Copies of this chain bind each other. A is one copy, B any other.
Amino acid sequence: MSEDFDLGAFLPYRLNRAAELVSLRFAAQYRARYQMTRPEWRALAALGFHGRMTATEIGAHSTMHKTKVSRAVKALETRRWLRRIEDRNDRRTEHLELTALGLRSYRDLAKMAQDYEGELASLLGAGGLKQLERGLTALEDAMLSGTGDRQPNSQSKPVAKHGER
């Protein structure tokens, strides 16, 4: 059966699995506490951590598609956790900023995140954690700078479907 391809060792497979295991557990926490979705938490975290930023910046930062960001922002706005501030020089963009309410929630969630991180760290042990972090750093560097953009077209027959324009 197995020829020489080892599925269990295949990096995308392992990474996905790991990411799922790690983030689902945390997602369950903020979901239970605030009924918030993952994109919402991500946007909130970005804003809380970096302070005022635009939707596009949030997207770039958290690798979320702009529609996801748009909807997450709308949801947070509805909760009155953030407000939009227009740019005087460019009326297309809007700067986003957490309200006091939003900031409070952010702090609470950041605390939870830290706790969770500590939990993970102790589960992993110092050695495992360090290796994982280094490995991830290497990967990030490789993926982002190594090949420039993110259009996947290395080898393989393209059967381009949509696309023109």
* Contact partners of A16 in chain B: CB under 8 A: 19, 23
Please state the number of chain copies in the assembly: 2
Interface of A is mostly: helix
> How far, in whole Å, are A93 and B23 apart by their CA atoms in the complex?
32
How near does chain B come to A147, taking the closest CB pair, in angstroms? 7
With A139-B18, A142-B128 already in contact, the answer to whether A1 and B49 are too (CB < 8 A) is yes
Considering only CB atoms, which chain B residue lies closest to A154 in the complex? B119
What bracket does the count of chain A residues touching chain B fall in? 35 or more
Asked whether B132 lies within 8 Å of A25 as measured between CB atoms, the reply is no
Interface residues of A (CB under 8 A from B): 1-29, 32-33, 35, 42, 45-46, 48-51, 62-63, 107, 110-117, 119-120, 123-125, 127-140, 142-144, 146-147, 149-160, 164-165
List of 3 A-B pairs having minimum Cβ-Cβ separation, nearest first: A132-B135, A128-B138, A28-B152
